[in-house]
Amino acid sequence: MINSVGNIFGNQHTNFRQTRNERIERINNAVLSGANNDVPAAPRENNGILDMSPLVREKNERMEQMQSKMESMRQDLDAAREAAQAEAEYWKEMRIAMEIARRIMRGDEVPPQDESFLAEKSPGLYKLATSLRDLTNDDPEKHDSLLESDRAENMAEQITATMGASSAPAPMPSAPSSSAPSSPSTPAPTA
C-alpha cells in the first residue's frame, strides 16, 4: 500500500513538473518571439551561446541618440552664450553713448572721438543730443574721452584676471562725475 501511495504522489509530482515546465517553455517562447511588442526580444541561445547582439545594438542606438541630443544641447548653449555676450557688449556701448549724449546736451566739451563714436553707434541719439545742446552754458566742462577710460578699465580687468583675483584688488567701476570739473578750462571767479 505504501508503494501505491508513493506511486500516486510520485505520478502527481511528475505530472505537475511536466505541466510547470510546459508553462515555462510557453512563456519563454512568447518572450523570445517578441509577442509582447513593449518588451524587446530576449537573447536567443545558439548552441549554448547567447546571442546578445539585439540588446547590444539597441543599447548602442540609445547611446547614439543621447549623444546627439547632448551635442545639439551643447551647440544651443554655445549659441546662447555668444548671443548673451553680444547683448552685453551692445548695452555696454549704449551706456557709453548715453553718457556722451548727456554731456553734449549739457553743453560740455566732448572729445571728437567720443562724438564720432556716438554718431556711429546711435545716429538718432547723436542728432537729438546736438539739437538739444545747451548753448547757454557759460562754464562748459571739458571731459576726457570715455572710450579711453573704457579701454583702461578693460585692460585693468584683463590684468586682474591674468594675475588672479587674490593677488590684485579688483578695479572699482567709476562713473564719470558731472558735478566736479576734471580740468577747469577757466578759473572760478573769486568774489
CA dist 125 and 102 (Å) reads: 10
pLDDT per position as a tens digit, 122-159? 999 999 999 999 988 888 999 989 887 666 566 556 65
CA dist 186 and 178 (Å) reads: 17
Task: Decide: residue 37, CB within 10 A, 0-12 exposed, 13-18 middle, 19+ buried.
Answer: exposed
Which residue would you say has higher pLDDT here, 101 or 39? Answer: 101
- 3-state secondary structure string across the chain: CHHHHHHHHHHHHHHHHHHHHHHHHHHHHHHHHCCCCCCCCCCEEECCEEECHHHHHHHHHHHHHHHHHHHHHHHHHHHHHHHHHHHHHHHHHHHHHHHHHHHHHHCCECCHHHHHHHHHHCHHHHHHHHHCCCCCCCCCCECCCHHHHHHHHHHHHHHHHHHCCCCCCCCCCCCCCCCCCCCCCCCCCCC
- What's the full length of the chain, in residues? 191
Q: Average of pLDDT values for 159-181? A: 50
pLDDT given at position 156: 57
Lowest-confidence region among 28-37, 136-145, 159-168: 159-168
Q: Average of pLDDT values for 22-35? A: 69
Q: Average of pLDDT values for 93-105? A: 93
- Per-residue pLDDT band at 19 (split at 50, 70, 90): confident
pLDDT given at position 128: 95
pLDDT given at position 41: 53
- Per-residue pLDDT band at 34 (split at 50, 70, 90): low
CA dist 3 and 112 (Å) reads: 120
Lowest-confidence region among 50-59, 121-130, 144-153, 160-169: 160-169
pTM of the model: 0.47
